[in-house]
Amino acid sequence: MLTLQCPYCGVMADETELSAGGEAHLKRFGPGSSDAEFETYMFMRENPKGVHFERWRHANGCGKWFHAARCTTTLEVFGTYSAQVSEPPQDIKDAITAKRPGWAWREFA
């Protein structure tokens, strides 16, 4: 079972205590954007075999949203961090680089 540490309340939460919220760091496009931008925001998703960033909610706990960096092939968790950022903090990036040399942060559309 997947276990993530909630960065707000510090609890090591089992998957059953959490709800998955999909890809993190999406750029939001609203009214006035082009069709292509809106399609990208609404439907196009990064689907990497490897390092992935996601939104999670500590639903059956403190109720807060947070971010997690995770590997989709090994289910290894690189770390969890605040929801109030638009890209992962440096310590998360360093933790990923230590385990996945050559990995690079990319701009998510």
Partner 1 sequence: MRRYSAFAIAREAARYHTGWERAWASPEPKKKYDVIIVGAGGHGLATAYYLGKNFGITNVAVLEKGWLGGGNTGRNTTIIRSNYLQDPSAAIYEKARSLYETMSQDLNYNVMFSPRGVIMLAQTHHEVRGYLRTAHANALQGVETQFIGPEKVKELVPIINIDGPRYPVLGGLWQPRGGTARHDAVAWGYARACSAMGMDIIQKCEVTGVRRDGDKVVGVDTTKGAIDCDKLGIVVAGHSGVMAEMSGFRLPIESLALQALVSEPIKPCMDVVVMANTVHGYMSQSDKGEMVIGGGTDGFNNYTQRGSFHHVEETVRALIETFPMISRLKMLRQWGGIVDMTGDRSPIISKTPVDGIFVNCGWGTGGFKAIPGSGWAMAELMAKGYSPLANEFGMNRFAEGRFIDESVAAGVAH
Q: Residue numbers of the site for partner 1 (CB under 8 A)?
A: 1-2, 15-16, 19-20, 22-23, 35-36, 39-40, 42-49, 52, 54, 70, 72-75
Q: Give the rounded distance of the alpha carbon of 1 from its chain centre.
A: 18
Nearer to partner 1, 28 or 90 (CB): 28
* Of 42 and 85, CB closest to partner 1: 42
Q: How far is the CB of 55 from partner 1 (least distance, A)?
A: 10
Which CB atom, from 68 or from 92, has the smaller least distance to partner 1?
Answer: 68
What is the smallest separation between the CB atom of 80 and partner 1, expressed in angstroms? Answer: 13
